Amino acid sequence: MKQLIKIWLGTAALALALPASADVVVVVNPKAAESSMTKDEVAQFFLGKSSALSPVDQPESAPIRAEFYKKVTDKEASQVKSLWSKLVFTGKATMPKEVADSAAVKKLVASDPKAIGYIDKSAVDASVKVIYTAQ
């Protein structure tokens, strides 16, 4: 019985230590022509393969950033950073604008019809339009 309790407590502790998965959505300005996008279309902007919209990033330390890149680009955030560094070094692109948090992304996207960003679904309001939900 003691062994069973130890296993149960260990499992419970591990479950609590794992970060909760956020619902990540990709947003644009409500006036933007785009009404929806595929995962690949969104990835194009955040991997520097399209400049039709300007990507807005969250801080490297933000858990939502790692989750977004894993779900949308199938890459680790560090791999994406390396890719952007090469693009910037060769003059093919400029780094995405980095802002403090979901509220700052929302504010920037709401004020710029050419911006695209990602935020926690719970932060969505009428100031932005959701065009993709990361699965």
For residue 1, what pLDDT is reported?
A: 58
Average pLDDT of the chain is 89
- Are 29 and 109 contacting, i.e. CB atoms less than 8 angstroms apart? yes
Confidence (pLDDT) at 96:
96
Pairs from 85-94 (Cβ < 8 Å, separation ≥ 24): 87/48, 92/48, 93/48, 93/51
**89, pLDDT greater than 70:** yes
**87 has pLDDT over 90:** yes
Q: Where are the domains of the chain?
A: 22-133
Q: Are strands 24-28 and 115-120 parallel, antiparallel or unpaired?
A: antiparallel
Amino acid 8 reads: W
**pLDDT at 69 (0 to 100):** 98
CATH of domain 22-133: 3.40.190.10
Q: Calculate mean pLDDT across residues 65-91.
A: 96
Nearest to 27 by CA among 123, 134, 118: 118
**What is the model's pLDDT at position 21?**
67
Neighbours of 99 (CB within 10 A): 18
